[in-house]
Amino acid sequence: MSEKKERKLLGVAIISMIVAAIILSAVLVVGVRRVGRENSISSFREFISARRVRGPLPATDDDLIRSWMTFDYINHLFSLPVNYLKTELNVNDSRYPNISLYEYGESLSTSTVSLLDTVRSAVLKATTTQQ
């Protein structure tokens, strides 16, 4: 490779890497801002001090229920009997328990927010009954 060609190649390499460094710095700034928004540092402190035990969650964690979760996952998460939510919410969908709350809400034309509230209440009720 001639010296001139080598120099040009190195020039391209340096420019490409500077562009990559700028993009990565932007990703870094966005990430740091997001961490601030999510309050990750205080969440981490809370997480460490709470020393969470792995396994079923207590009913007080019902605020962790999200619309993307499936009935099967919620049953597992809170250690509920497989058909508990089916009976409690009167679910007739054949896809139960492998259907997300969002999809189920869509099929019923129910708002996701009200469905989430109903599921949370059912979970709370089950855990209270178990106690």
Partner 1 sequence: MNFILSGLLSFLLVYKYPALFFAVLLSAIFLPLPIDTTLVAVGAFASQGYFSVSIAYTAAFLGNVIGDVTSYVIWKRYGKAIIRERYAKKYRFFSKLEEYVRKYAGPTVFASRFVGVFGPIVNFLCGYGQVRFKIFILGSISGNAVDTLWPIAVGYFVGSSWENFSGLVGIFGAVIALIAVVGALIRVYLEKK
Using the contact rule CB under 8 A, the part of the chain among 21-29, 80-88, 115-123 near partner 1 is 21-29
Question: Least distance from C-beta 1 to partner 1, angstroms?
Answer: 8
Largest CA distance in the chain: 81
- The three-state secondary structure class of 123 is helix
Residue type, 77: L
Tokens in use for 9? 């190649």
**Residue 64 per-residue DSSP state:** G
Tokens in use for 64? 């962790």
Q: Which of 2, 4, 16, 62 touches partner 1 by CB under 8 A?
A: 16
Using the contact rule CB under 8 A, the part of the chain among 43-51, 81-89, 114-122, 123-131 near partner 1 is 43-51
- Check binding of 127 to partner 1 (CB under 8 A): no
- Check binding of 21 to partner 1 (CB under 8 A): yes
